[in-house]
């Protein structure tokens, strides 16, 4: 039986601050990480399979993939459960068929998949990962004395002060300056 691994503080921060710190599914402030391909279904337990989400969306999505969950939610909202698969209720009320409902949500699902790809690329960005690893690796794993929420507040302040994630050249210059060296040394 597979076991989930614990993520270090820097890994939590790299995921939670992606997508402007917002939940992938509803846009609220992210609070936890979600496995895009559910761990229970064999999804990888690594950063490339994680996105930032709020607790409510994470709880509701459970062990579904984002498209399955999204389509299910959409059908729940749009379909009252009456009529036939072809959309006729016999009352002339214009009820959509299952095919029409699916096609209407298809473009939205493709947009969601594009958004997931964009956030996955942001989380996988080597410079960005190195930025978090360099600053938070020594904090180890979340604990009672230094949890994810506290680390996130500090990281958000640091990101703001440093105006994002510096390039490799900017980072090298910053470190050399800290050590009292000049680029010519």
3-class secondary structure per residue, 72-122: HHHHHHHCCCCCCCCCCCCCCCCCCCHHHHHHHHHHHHHHHHHHHHHHHHH
Give the distance, in angstroms, between the CA of residue 168 and the centroid of all CA atoms in the same chain: 25
For residue 158, being part of any structural domain is answered with: yes
What's the pLDDT at 93? 55
For residue 96, being part of any structural domain is answered with: no
For residue 4, being part of any structural domain is answered with: no
What's the pLDDT at 51? 98
Angle between helices 9-16 and 126-136 (to 10 degrees): 140
Q: Note down the domain range covering 167.
A: 9-80+120-178
For residue 149, being part of any structural domain is answered with: yes
Averages of pLDDT over each 10 residues, the chain, 185 residues: 93 96 96 96 95 96 92 74 62 66 85 95 93 93 91 90 67 71 59
For residue 183, being part of any structural domain is answered with: no
What's the pLDDT at 121? 94
For residue 3, being part of any structural domain is answered with: no
């Amino acid at each position: 039986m597979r076991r989930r691994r614990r993520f270090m503080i820097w890994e939590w921060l790299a995921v939670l601050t992606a997508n402007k710190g917002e939940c992938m599914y509803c846009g609220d402030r992210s609070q936890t990480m979600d496995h895009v391909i559910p761990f229970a279904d064999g999804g990888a337990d690594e950063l490339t399979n994680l996105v930032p989400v709020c607790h409510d969306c994470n709880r509701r999505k459970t062990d579904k993939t984002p498209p399955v969950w999204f389509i299910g939610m959409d059908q729940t909202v749009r379909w009252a459960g009456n009529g036939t698969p072809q959309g006729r209720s016999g009352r002339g009320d214009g009820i959509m068929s299952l095919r029409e409902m699916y096609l209407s949500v298809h473009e939205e699902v493709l947009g969601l998949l594009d958004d997931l790809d964009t956030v996955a690329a942001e989380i996988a960005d080597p410079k960005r990962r190195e930025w978090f690893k360099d600053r938070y690796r020594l904090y180890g794993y979340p604990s009672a004395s230094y949890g994810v929420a506290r680390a996130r507040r500090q990281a958000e302040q640091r990101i703001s002060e440093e105006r994002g994630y510096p390039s490799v050249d900017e980072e090298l210059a910053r470190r050399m300056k800290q050590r009292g060296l000049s680029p010519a040394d």
